[in-house]
Amino acid sequence: MTDLRNNDRVKEILKDCNIALIGFANLTEMKPDARFGFPYGVSIAIALQPDIVALIPDGPTMEYYNEYKNVSARLREASAFLADQIKERGFGAMSLSVQNQSDDFRTPFPLKTLATRSGLGWIGKAATLVTRQFGSAVRLGGVLTDMPFLTGTPINESLCGDCAECVTHCPGKAVSGKTWTLRTDRDELLNAAGCKRTVIQRGKPFGITDGSCGVCLAVCPYTKKYTERIRP
């Protein structure tokens, strides 16, 4: 079976999961222990509903929190399903949805890292993934595997330029404004603890303590292009 046929097989497996973006990554430039010994990865993304995203800057809504929760659940299911299907075909695979966050809100293998290595997007100034198609209005899932693929071209540079929309509008003033490079640590971009406090504060009327407040993703110009293109 050729590598390209494996790409097509993955797309066929996921065809009923309403996945907006699928990317394939060659991870061999990373240390084996950092990628759990797997040389390849599949990054998947589901786009958030544009009408819900467009209203985020006006204030927190239960519609956004429900959308965030539902899309996250769908990605966990899709990632687990894909990993199981790859294993049934005789390859090793690991769903990244099984990872737990540490006390400083990190995971062993970040889904955003897999997305940039797959060529789906770059890391914005608010430490969110930015895609050309949907801006930051996406949630991510993924699988590590030894199934070989024809892989995408990694994105190693930010395309945010001088834009500072997420910096200006962050309600928790948690975004530093630094531009991402491959050597940039998340903490140089974002005060994760400050971001978490803001999520809790904005979600208090709804009893929400997890997820994202969504402001940085909504004000991103790439996101606005998506919401304005799709909304009536």
Residues sharing a CB contact under 8 Å with residue 217, sequence separation 6 or more, in sequence order: 48, 53, 56, 126, 128, 135, 136, 137, 223
Provide, rounded to the nearest whole percent, the portion of the chain with pLDDT above 70.
98
pLDDT of residue 153: 97
Domain holding 158, by residue range, is 3-230
> Which two structure tokens, joined as six digits, stand for 155?
């994105």
Residue 100 banded pLDDT, cuts 50, 70, 90: confident
Higher pLDDT residue, 147 or 209? Answer: 147
pLDDT at 1 over 50: no
What mean pLDDT comes out for the span 127-155? 97
> Which two structure tokens, joined as six digits, stand for 134?
């949907």
Residues sharing a CB contact under 8 Å with residue 33, sequence separation 6 or more, in sequence order: none
CB 177 within 8 A of CB 164: yes
Q: How many domains does the chain fold into? A: 1
Residue 159 banded pLDDT, cuts 50, 70, 90: very high
CB 194 within 8 A of CB 217: no
**Which three-class secondary structure string do you get for the chain?**
CCHHHHHHHHHHHCCCCCCCEEEEEECCCCCHHHHCCCCEEEEEEEECCHHHHHCHHHCCCHHHHHHHHHHHHHHHHHHHHHHHHHHHCCCCEEEHHHCCCCCCCCCCCCHHHHHHHHCCCEECCCCCEEECCCECCEEEEEEEECCCCCCCCCCCECCCCCCCHHHHHCCCCCECCCCCECCCCHHHHECHHHHHHHHHHHHHHHCCCCCCCCHHHHHCHHHHHHHHHHCC
- The letter for the amino acid at 193 is A
pTM recorded for the entire structure: 0.95
Place of tokens 């005060």: 191
Provide, rounded to the nearest whole percent, the portion of the chain with pLDDT above 90.
89
CB 165 within 8 A of CB 94: no
What mean pLDDT comes out for the span 115-134? 98
pLDDT of residue 99: 86
C-alpha span between 40 and 33 (Å, rounded)? 13
CB 170 within 8 A of CB 218: no
pLDDT in tens, 16-67: 999 999 999 999 999 999 999 999 999 999 999 999 999 999 989 999 999 9
What mean pLDDT comes out for the span 140-146? 98
Higher pLDDT residue, 106 or 101? Answer: 106
pLDDT at 69 over 70: yes
Residue 84 banded pLDDT, cuts 50, 70, 90: very high
Neighbours of 210 (CB within 10 A): 12
pLDDT of residue 229: 82
pLDDT of residue 108: 94
CA dihedral of residues 14, 17, 19, 22 (deg, nearest 10): -20
Residue 232 banded pLDDT, cuts 50, 70, 90: low
